[in-house]
Structure 1
Amino acid sequence: MSGAKRRLVAVSNRVGPLTDEGKAGGLAVGLSDALRRRGGVWFGWSGEVSAEGTDSEARTETVGNVSMVTIDLTQEEVDGFYYGYANRSLWPLLHYRLDLAQFDRASDRVYRAVNQRFAARLMPMLRDDDIIWVHDYHFFHLGSELRQQGFKGSVGFYLHIPFCPPEMFSALPSGVDIVKAMLAYDLVGFQTDTDRRNFIQFCVRELGGEKLKGHRVRVGGRVVSARTFPIGIDAEGFARFAVSPEASEHEEMVRGMAGDRLQIVGVDRMDYSKGLVERLLGFERLLEDYPENRGAVQFLQVAPLSRSELDAYAELRRDLESLSGHVNGRFATLDWTPFQIMTTGFTRRALAGIYRAARVCLVTPLRDGMNLVAKEFVAAQDPQDPGVLVLSRFAGARAELSEALIVNPYSTDDVARALQRALSMPLEERQERWRAMRAAVFGNTASYWCEAFLAELESIPKDVPA
């Protein structure tokens, strides 16, 4: 193509803004930059519910050389596709929570139908030489649907959340169908080597596939590349956020709230995968086993509400509120409340200020694809007085942020010991650990992640029938 970059067509459940102010994470940052460079289309759900269903008109917003195209879903589709199969079946299963996964044929059918409808609405927009990049667990079937509807060009897929072991994924009644559908993609990307290996092992064990060199797998006549691309953040941009007036205001508010106490901070969606209850139990153990911290530390958990319509999320909120009352009732004094939780959201700049005020950031998911909070915390720190990151061994970010204090989030003793070490860590050690993590965060940015995936996808020859 005479050296010109091919047009990019991205598909994700929700379409992010192209403005710098609204970027919420690695996906929005990486795709925004790539779409601007290449031109193209970003296609997804509008977030709106329409009774018209397949007859509803697509909304198109053009920003420069990029078209943001969204369609509505019916209430039946929202219930079956989004709240049903995607978040009652796939989300818990892929996060190793088979005990919370619910399987039913009706929501599976709606999930497949939505994937088919997205493909049908996307096809008229496509050019033969477009690069299609499909994102996340909402659209496992989309590549297969595009192939069936005639698209023969490059199609890649990236899974932002974990891919569980084959023994667990095989519990999903339609698990074999999903992985067969994933074979329609030329490149399947994962956050970690563990996720990639789990996918390849499923192909080999359950589909009779053959593992090939170069992180590829052959199933029948189809060869698919499966590679690891850990997602990053806009590190420089977030570091600038941390010294903005809004960040400084929130930093001072948090410091004022803590007084002369050391501040522990957690920032997560209200989700059972984040280990919020286990985290608070670890903090309680800190106060039990290291009583010198009573009255000397404060723990602020920011946990915006998420998917409140689902029973598991409502139950989590009740459990966390109950445990919060127990911990505060047990240890609080007239002038000290050890634990505070806020379920409201904050802007990116405000969060940067909150991170900067923290001596310790607790990032202890029970299972997470990557966890960008860990990277944002590192980017936001004051080089002269950086805080300490306490990180779950089950977060994808662990592979890059090895200088964090790594913990088993299921062990309250382990979390308590790490908190004690972090709170008492000398400045020189804090700086040394932070510099190593900063190099990792600034060396693998969202833009780098995006271009690495697209370069790999473009390098795959289109000589294997889809």
Structure 2
Amino acid sequence: MAGRLIVVSNRIPTDSAPSGGLVVALHDALKARGGIWIGNSGKVTDSPAEGLTPIADEPYRRRSFDLTPAEHKGFYLDYANSTLWPLFHHRADLMTLDQDAARTYWEVNRKVARLIAAEAGPDDMIWVHDYHFLPLARALRLEGVENRVGFFLHIPFPNVSDVPALPENKYLPEWVAAYDLVGLQTVRDVSAAINVLRENGAEMLLKGRMKFRDRQFRLASFPIGIDVDDFAEAADAAGDADRTLRLDPGEKLVLGVDRLDYSKGIPNRFAAFGEFLRTGQPDEPRATLLQIAPPSREDVEAYRDIREELEEMAGRVNGEHAELDWTPIRYIRKNIPREILAGLYRRADAMLVTPLADGMNLVAKEYVAAQDGADPGVLILSHFAGAAEQLDAALMVNPYDIGDTSRAIRAALSMPEHERIARHLSLIAAIREHDIDWWTTTYLDALATAGTI
């Protein structure tokens, strides 16, 4: 009898009606195959429940685990998000190095491995998501679990020159090799992972397979997608964004939507928009940058720093260029409902997706899906976004080059209709070809055959 699918992620959806592309895709996969989703409850308590706590049993089981305050700090804040996150985004200078945090990170992974081992049947496939659980397969093997175990990394893989900054770098190859299939966002990430593993003694085999000590495993790129039709329908149903934003007729809207994070390049973006305003001509249409950046991980010092920097930069640009009836940068530091966001995507004349490092960046794909094909806006995309490998019809920029991004904004806002339509046709075809259903099916099919030649 075919086994179930066990999905493991740091957070688990608790609502009965899932939302968001990844959550919906995993929901559909579990519903079709039967299985269980295991994740962190989000509760931090001195008295965590023993074992897994039931959330739901239909149409598949959802179970959560709790963390103590010490586990939350060491595993989540200090190691996953203050050590691994900056390392994997090529910011070793921002890493926090703490042996106690490293130990807690491993101990939480051992704890979760024991919980999974108690649940997994012999034919179940286990699909682990993201950097919080990088060593989970190694911990599962120590529990005697021999099931097929796959891993998908949603963020970039570090370069071979970055990895020595991690004190625990000697464990990285065995963590990766304990999986049967390691999925990465881009070909660039696969290349980076191969370089790191070979530097540490792994061997290349045939057909994308590698060997480290007694373990064979496969590395491959599986670029994640979105539900294109669902997002297009949300944009169709959205209200009048001009009325919501109170834009003047003919006013251009440049949009940025990012989680508040130093990897997203938002200060560079503000500087580029300021340069765009400084070099503008009197007869150009007025343009507003709307930046939506909901906060995250505010307990981490680097995130407090980026928040303060952006507030100062927005104030300076607005102070230099604002008029009584116009604020050039509108900076919103909170979540915006998806149905409103879809309408903002549709209205925006240009979208700035300019990270300094990013695994994929689904905002770029959502923007493309939301456009009116007869009068589309223009996507301005960083070379360092994973999406750049697929969306080469966007206006590509180097986000470190303020002048380059400034010129791209001007080019986007003045681009003739025929060029905008041609670029959009290419972009929409790309996101349809590799949508969220393609990603889920392709990955799980590869995991099901992992170990075969």
TM more than 0.5: yes
The verdict on how the C-alpha distance between 1:17 and 1:233 changes in structure 2, with shifts beyond 3 A counting, is farther
Deviation track 1:433-462 (CA, whole Å, cap 9, x = no partner) reads: 111100111111112101101100111237
Of 45, 52, 76, which aligns to 2:40? 45
Report the equivalent of 1:11. 8
Asked whether the equivalents of residues 29 and 447 of structure 1 are also in contact (C-alpha less than 8 Å), the reply is no
SS in 2 for 1:188: strand
TM-score, structure 1 normalization? 0.94
Whether 1:66 and 2:60 are equivalent positions in the alignment is yes
Contact 1:17 1:28 in 2 (8 A): no
Match of 2:239, SS state, is helix
Evaluate the alpha carbon distance shift between residue 399 and residue 51 of structure 1 in structure 2; reply closer, same or farther with a 3 A threshold.
Answer: same
Report if the CA contact (8 A) 1:29-1:446 is conserved.
Answer: no
For 1:322-337, list aligned pairs within 5 A: 322-337=312-327
Cα deviations across residues 69-105 of structure 1 (Å, max 9, x unaligned)? 1111000011000001000000001000111111110
Q: Which runs of structure 2 are paired with 1:19-418 in the superposition (5 Å)?
A: 22-25=18-21, 27-53=22-48, 55-56=49-50, 58-206=52-200, 208-244=201-237, 247-250=238-241, 252-254=243-245, 256-292=246-282, 296-418=286-408
Q: 1:181-213 deviations in whole A, cap 9, x for unaligned?
A: 22110000100111111111111112x121122
CA contact (8 A) 1:154 1:462 kept: no
For residues 173 and 248 of structure 2, what CA distance do their matches in structure 1 show?
50
Q: Deviation at 1:251?
A: 5.7
Q: Helix, strand or coil: the match of 2:95?
A: coil
Give the conservation status (yes or no) of the 8 Å contact 1:50–1:56.
Answer: no
Number of residues of Structure 1 aligned to a counterpart in Structure 2: 453
Q: Distance in 2 between matches of 1:258 and 1:31?
A: 42
Q: Distance in 1 between matches of 2:423 and 2:14?
A: 34
Superposition deviation, residue 33 in structure 1 = 1.4
Instruction: Report deviation, 1:59.
Output: 2.1
Report if aligned partners of 1:252, 1:357 keep a CA contact under 8 Å in 2. Answer: no
Aligned to 1:453: 443
> After superposition, what is the alpha-carbon deviation per residue over 1:362-400, rounded to whole angstroms, capped at 9, x for unaligned?
000000000000000000011121100000000000011
Which ranges of structure 2 fall in alignment gaps of 5 or more residues? none
CA contact (8 A) 1:251 1:353 kept: no
Deviation at 1:19, TM superposition (A): 5.3
**Closer/same/farther in 2, CA of residues 228 and 250 from structure 1, 3 Å limit:** same
Kept after mapping to 2: 8 A contact 1:35/1:66: yes
| AA of the residue aligned to 1:14 | R
Give the percent of matched residue pairs that are identical in Structure 1 and Structure 2. 42
Q: CA deviation at 1:317?
A: 0.6
Is the 1:18–1:32 Cα contact (8 Å) retained in structure 2? no
* 73-82 or 282-291: bigger deviation: 282-291
- In the superposition, relative to structure 1, how do residues 295 and 249 fare at CA in structure 2: closer, same or farther (>3 Å)? closer
> CA shift at 1:24, angstroms?
2.4
- Let me know the Cα RMSD of the aligned residues: 1.6
TM norm structure 2: 0.97
Contact conserved, 1:251 with 1:356, CA < 8 A, in 2?
no
- Once residues 279 and 68 of structure 1 are traced to their aligned partners in structure 2, the CA distance between those partners, rounded to angstroms, is 40
CA 1:293 to 1:446, structure 2 compared with 1: closer, same or farther past 3 Å? farther
SS of corresponding position for 1:65: coil
Question: Are residues 24 and 309 of structure 1, via their aligned partners in 2, closer, same or farther at CA, if it must alter by over 3 Å?
Answer: same
CA positional deviation for 1:179: 2.5
1:345, 1:426 → 2: CA distance?
Answer: 33
- 1:439 aligns with 429
C-alpha distance 293-450 of structure 1, shift in aligned 2 (>3 A)? farther
Give 3-state SS (helix, strand or coil) of 1:69's partner: strand
Distance of 2:170 and 2:176 partners within structure 1: 10
Q: Distance in 2 between matches of 1:462 and 1:213?
A: 11
Change (3 A) 1:189 1:156: same
Displacement of 1:277 in angstroms is 0.2
